[in-house]
Structure 1
Amino acid sequence: MATPNEVTFRLSRCHSSVPRARAVLRAKLGEWRAGQAAAADGELVLSELVTNALRVPVPGDRLVGVRIECRGRGELLRLEVSDAGAGRPEVRRPGGLDKGGRGLLLVETPAHRWGVDERRAGIGKTVWAELLAPGIDPAPAEVEIAAVTVRPGQCVRAWGAWHTVRAVRSERYASGGLAVIIVLRDGGPSLRLDAAEPLTVRATAVAGGRVQPIAGSVIPS
C-alpha cells in the first residue's frame, strides 16, 4: 500500500501517458514542496523513462507501471518505470546529426544514479533513477481546526486516511446548535460534526511563524 512519501499508478500505451505522468509528479512534488530545480529535473527524467517504456515492444496490451518515491527527508527523489519488454536499455552517444537516441543521456545527466532491475513479479524490467532533491518534505505538517472553518479543496483526516473536501454546508440542530456537513471528493460517506469539533487538516508554515491549512493535491485518474 502506498505511503505518504510515494505514489504508484499505471499508464496505457499511448502518447497522452507522458504528460499524464508529468502531471502526477508535478502534483506530488507540489504536495512535498519541492524546489523548482528538483521539479524540472524530475519531470524531464520521468518523461524520458516513460517515453522509452512506451517504445518497447511488449506482448499484448501491457500497461506501463510508474512509482514515485521520496527517500529520507529532503534527500532523494526516486522515479521507477516498469514495462513488460525484454532487454536492457543502454546509454547511446549519438552524433551531432543524429535526431534520436538521447533519451538515457537526458536521464543520466541530472540523475544522481540510475539503473535497471528485473521485475520481481511478472515479466520485464524496471528502469529507475534517483535525483538529489534538497528541501523536499514528504510529511506535510498537520494542524487541528474547527470543523466550521474547513473549506473545499482542503485535505482532512478521517477514518485513518486523508480525503479531499468537495463541499461544505451547515445546518441547525433542533436545539439551535450548528452542525457542519463535509462532503468528500472520493465519494465516501460525508462527515457530520459539531461546528466547534476539531478536525485535522494538512498545513504549511507561512511568514510570521503562523500555520495555515492548504489544499490537497489531486492525482489524475
Structure 2
Amino acid sequence: MTFRLSRCRSSVPKARAALRAKLGEWRADQSVPDDGELVLSELVTNAVRVPVPGDRLVGVRIECRGRGEFLRLEVSDAGAGRPEVQRPGELDKGGRGLLLVQTLAHRWGVDERPAGIGKTVWAELLSPGVAPAEAQIAAVSVRPGQCVRVWGAWHTVRAVRSERYASGGPAVVIVLSDGGPALRLHAAEPLTVRTAAAADPLTVRNAALTGPVISS
C-alpha cells in the first residue's frame, strides 16, 4: 500500500488511520497495529517537520506479510540529512521519536531515494514470537554457507579466514561464492547475515554466540 500526505500536522493521524484500516483489511493479528501506529506516527512526524524545497509531499509505503508477522513501514521526504537517534535528558520535552522507533522495531534505517532528492526512513516490525530471519553479528562470527548483505544485495559466504592488520588488530577476510571481491573487515565489524536457505533463523541468531569457523 502506498499513498502521499501533505506536510502538515493532520497528516500524522491520517497515516495512523490508514495503517489501522489496511491491517484490518489484511486481517493482521491484533498485536500488530498498536506498535505499528506508534512507529509510523514518529516517522511521519519527522518527515512533515524537516525543511524541504517547495511544497513537496510525504510518501508512505506499507508492506505486510502473513497476518502481520512482518510489517515494513517506509516514509519518504525531500529533506536533506539523515535522522539520528537522540539521547534526551529527563527534562527534555522532545527528541525521543527515533528512540521509540529503535525500541519497537526489529530493524530500522535510512536509504537515499533512487530517483529524486531526499531520503526514505524505514522500520521493520515482527509480531511477538516470530524469530527474525536476519541478524547482525560480528564479522568474526560469520560462517561459510551463510548469506551476508553487502553492496545492497545478498551474497553467499564461501570461506572465512583470519588475518591481522599491520597495526596488529584482528581482521577477517570473507570470500564470497559469486566471485566478487573478498571482504576484509575488522573482526568486530557488524554484518547482517542469514542462512543460505534462510530457513533456520535460530542458526543465524546463535552464530553470534559461538566461535568463528575459520577456513582457508
TM superposition score category, shorter chain reference: 0.5 to 0.7
Are positions 1:45 and 2:28 aligned together? no
Equivalence for 1:54: 48
Are positions 1:12 and 2:41 aligned together? no
TM-score, with length taken from structure 1? 0.56
| CA offset digits 1:112-171 (Å, max 9, x no partner) | 000000001110000000000369xxxxxxxxxxxxxxxxxxxxxxxxxxxxxxxxxxxx
- SS at structure 1 position matched to 2:71: strand
Match for 1:95: what amino acid? Answer: G
Equivalence for 2:123: 129
What is the CA distance between 1:38 and its match in structure 2? 1.2
Equivalence for 1:93: 87
| Residue segments in structure 1 that go unaligned for 5+ positions in a row | 1-6, 136-221
Match for 2:41: what amino acid? Answer: S
Higher mean C-alpha displacement, 73-82 vs 61-70: 73-82
TM-score, with length taken from structure 2? 0.57
Residues in 1 aligned to 2:7 and 2:36: alpha-carbon distance in whole angstroms: 21
Moved over 6 A (4+): none
Whose relative contact order is higher, 1 or 2, with alpha carbons under 8 Å and at least 6 apart? Answer: 1
Change (3 A) 1:134 1:32: farther
Aligned pair partner of 2:20 in 17, 22, 26: 26
- SS at structure 1 position matched to 2:104: coil
Residues in 2 aligned to 1:16 and 1:128: alpha-carbon distance in whole angstroms: 21
Checking the alignment, whether the CA contact within 8 Å between 2:84 and 2:98 is kept in structure 1 is yes
Q: How does 1:67-86 map to 2 (within 5 A)?
A: 67-71=61-65, 74-86=68-80
| CA offset digits 1:8-28 (Å, max 9, x no partner) | 000001111001101110001
- SS at structure 1 position matched to 2:73: strand
What is the CA distance between 1:86 and its match in structure 2? 0.4
Checking the alignment, whether the CA contact within 8 Å between 2:106 and 2:125 is kept in structure 1 is yes
What is the CA distance between 1:36 and its match in structure 2? 2.8
Checking the alignment, whether the CA contact within 8 Å between 1:12 and 1:63 is kept in structure 2 is yes
Equivalence for 1:196: none
Match for 1:50: what amino acid? Answer: V
What is the CA distance between 1:72 and its match in structure 2? 5.5
Equivalence for 1:161: none
Residues in 1 aligned to 2:94 and 2:80: alpha-carbon distance in whole angstroms: 21
- How many residue pairs match? The answer is 130
Residues in 2 aligned to 1:134 and 1:88: alpha-carbon distance in whole angstroms: 29
Checking the alignment, whether the CA contact within 8 Å between 1:34 and 1:133 is kept in structure 2 is no
Checking the alignment, whether the CA contact within 8 Å between 1:63 and 1:83 is kept in structure 2 is yes
- SS at structure 1 position matched to 2:37: helix
Equivalence for 1:142: none
What is the CA distance between 1:35 and its match in structure 2? 2.5
